[in-house]
Amino acid sequence: MKKMKIAYVGFGKSTNRYHIPYLQTRDNFEIVRIVTPTLMKNPEAQLALEATGTLFSTDIQDIIQDKTIDLVVVVTPAKSHFALAKQLLQAGKNVLLDKPAVEKLTEMQELVALAQDANLFFMPFQNRRFDSDFLTVKKMIETGYLGRVIDIQVHMDHFRPDDTTVTGSNFDGAFYGDGVHLVDQMVSLFGSPEKVQYDIRSTRQPLSTLDDHFDVDLFYPDHLKASVHATESALVPYPKWLIQGTKGTFIKQDVDQQENDLKAGIMPGTAGFGEDSPQAYGHLTYLNQNGDRIEKYIPSEMGDYGRIYDAAYETVINGAEKLITDAQMLRVIEILEGGFENG
């Protein structure tokens, strides 16, 4: 199997938590270069990668001039995403761009056009398409237990009352930071909504210019409403997922465990990594063909953020269709930006 040669721009927490550990469980990827503004900021991680042949430097030109690289992954502060992705695409590089990819629809349109014109791969790193809870919800909808879905809610709730930043741009707030995941999940399930209604606020510091709470409704044909919600002020959170259909209800209380394990230093490939306990399984209630009410707990699908890389491999190396279409990535940014059009 051909190895995909990967370079990273950025070597901070996200690169070392949400990206590299997943590649290290796969044999068909090779990390050939990493560009970071500060060498030896994480000496243990850098030395371990250098021992496998990865080259570190501070100049992005080292990546641009390396013709062996198949994919460049940009994992830098969000405000730098557009300029870096544009520079790399103009240099003929395939790009996987961390989320939120960009702030403005016009920026995303420009990047998509550059990639299309040069026949390059360009896609955002929407890793939560491979959350365990999301994959389980997707399966529940596809199996038909719920009938026609009429209402679906997803929450990303925390209780961080003192972790506040008073000033910043829309790009720094909760809707771009968390909403990009939840909106993308809904767009991947149901496509482009016909109408969007927004409630975006700052709740911990009412005079802050930075949002920390959103409740956004996406309206679809057949009277389907998909709601995405997040707050930093939920001592008792809502269920992660609540779905009502014409034949049943599905409730998933808890979140995907990958992030919790990663934060605890438990890495992909470790036995039990990312697995839900039976107590965390989602609860399904539905009516069978005889009209009997059936209740059961549904074992969670296995999450794996590395599947974003598997999808990129299949597209770049084998010519498969992209996991996230251009239309989807454009619509997600359009919805995010739309939340602040009058603000």
Peptide bond into 221 cis (omega under 30): no
Q: How many CB atoms lie within 10 A of CB 190?
A: 17
Residues 61 and 132 occupy one common structural domain: no
Residues 265 and 184 occupy one common structural domain: yes
**Closest to 258 measured CA to CA, from 68, 77, 131, 95:** 131
In a domain, 335, yes or no: no
How many domains, the chain? 2
In a domain, 84, yes or no: yes
Q: What element of type H or E holds 258? A: helix 258-263
pLDDT tens-place string over residues 273-305:
999 999 999 999 999 999 899 999 999 999 999
The separation between the first and the last C-alpha atoms of the chain, rounded to the nearest angstrom, is 51
In a domain, 289, yes or no: yes
Residues 277 and 140 occupy one common structural domain: yes
Measured between alpha carbons, how far is 217 from 96 in angstroms, rounded to an integer?
28
Which residue stretches of the chain have pLDDT < 70? Answer: 163-166, 342-343
Provide the strand spans (E) within 109-255: 122-124, 149-157, 195-197, 200-201, 213-220, 224-231, 241-245, 248-252
DSSP string for residues in 306-341? THHHHHHHHHHHH-PPPSS-HHHHHHHHHHHHHTTT
Both tokens assigned to 273: 């990594």
Note the pLDDT of residue 118. Answer: 98
Of 103, 125, 147, the one marking the end of a domain is 125
Residues 119 and 136 occupy one common structural domain: no
Note the pLDDT of residue 166. Answer: 67
Q: What element of type H or E holds 217? A: strand 213-220
Residues 97 and 180 occupy one common structural domain: no
In a domain, 325, yes or no: no
State whether residue 19 is helix, strand or coil: helix
Residues 33 and 158 occupy one common structural domain: no
In a domain, 310, yes or no: no
Note the pLDDT of residue 168. Answer: 79
In a domain, 329, yes or no: no
In a domain, 43, yes or no: yes
DSSP string for residues in 272-292? TTTPPPGGG-EEEEEE-TT--
- 17: CATH: 3.40.50.720
Q: How many CA atoms lie within 13 A of 293 on its CB side?
A: 2
Residues 116 and 241 occupy one common structural domain: no
What amino acid occupies position 28?
A: N
Render the burial of 106-121: b for 16+ CB within 10 Å, e for the rest.
ebbebbbebbeeeebb
Of 91, 125, 159, the one marking the end of a domain is 125
In a domain, 322, yes or no: no
pLDDT tens-place string over residues 245-256:
999 999 999 999
Residues 287 and 139 occupy one common structural domain: yes
Note the pLDDT of residue 302. Answer: 97
Note the pLDDT of residue 342. Answer: 61
Note the pLDDT of residue 7. Answer: 98
Using an 8 Å Cβ cutoff, are 310 and 268 in contact? Answer: no
What amino acid occupies position 175?
A: F
Block residue for tokens 């997707």: 138
What amino acid occupies position 305?
A: Y
Measured between alpha carbons, how far is 300 from 6 in angstroms, rounded to an integer?
31
Of 125, 152, 178, the one marking the end of a domain is 125
Residues 97 and 153 occupy one common structural domain: no
Residues 168 and 110 occupy one common structural domain: no
- 188: CATH: 3.30.360.10
Residues 252 and 120 occupy one common structural domain: no
- Please give the radius of gyration of the chain, using alpha carbons only, rounded to the nearest integer: 21
Block residue for tokens 């198949």: 70
pLDDT tens-place string over residues 120-162:
999 999 999 999 999 999 999 999 999 999 999 999 999 988 7
Measured between alpha carbons, how far is 154 from 152 in angstroms, rounded to an integer?
7
Note the pLDDT of residue 164. Answer: 64
**Closest to 308 measured CA to CA, from 156, 67, 90, 97:** 97
Block residue for tokens 């549904």: 298
Measured between alpha carbons, how far is 34 from 279 in angstroms, rounded to an integer?
41
**Residues whose CB is less than 8 angstroms from the CB of residue 162 and which lie 6 or more positions away in sequence, other chains included:** none
Residues 234 and 301 occupy one common structural domain: yes
Both tokens assigned to 111: 């990047």
Using an 8 Å Cβ cutoff, are 182 and 335 in contact? Answer: no
Using an 8 Å Cβ cutoff, are 82 and 109 in contact? Answer: no
Structural domain span for residue 81: 4-125
